[in-house]
A = this chain, B = another copy of it.
């Protein structure tokens, strides 16, 4: 009896020592870099990192600005992440970055800072301000119905600038 009790005590001590940190507010789900825009894609963490990858792999970069509490962002995220054509093209031919905070680079906000907003950057580090959506007041915004336009713009971005010279 005593032996069993001490074994139990030892186990309790061991498990409480090994136990991982849990916040007072309860266990959290680990944050993902995808933030729901495509869990199978390999996301860059920062704009600097994304530019480095884009140059070194000679692939265009897609920068996606969004916000967790913006319903337009959330609606676009749903169709974007569930669209296998978009996911496949991005995985194979693009460097991808999604940001919930603005960068200090003004070239990424040619007509202002709003979400959702999608900018393409050529491996030559030129922001493709010429590739835009259908709204004249928010040229880089896309809505859920604009998915085919987005795919066609991705095809445009795949034609690298230096190839056009």
Residue ID in chain B nearest A38 by CB atoms: B21
Tell me the A26-49 residues at the B interface (CB within 8 Å).
Answer: 27-28, 30-34, 38-40, 42-43, 45-49
Q: Chain B nearest CB: distance from A47 CB in Å?
A: 7
Tell whether, in the assembled complex, residue B82 and residue A48 are in contact, meaning their CB atoms are under 8 Å apart.
no
Q: Closest chain B residue to A33 by CB distance?
A: B31
Binary flags per residue of A77-111, CB closer than 8 Å to B gives 1, else 0? 00000101001100100000001111110000000
Of B40, B45, B102, which contacts A21 at CB under 8 A? Answer: B40
Determine if B22 and A40 form an interchain contact, defined as CB atoms under 8 angstroms apart. yes
Query: Does A27 lie within 8 Å of B45, measured CB to CB?
Result: no
Residue A145 at the B interface, CB < 8 A?
A: no
Could you list 15 examples of A-B contacts with CB < 8 Å?
Answer: A20-B82, A21-B38, A21-B87, A22-B40, A28-B39, A28-B40, A30-B39, A31-B33, A31-B42, A33-B45, A46-B47, A48-B102, A48-B104, A49-B100, A52-B101
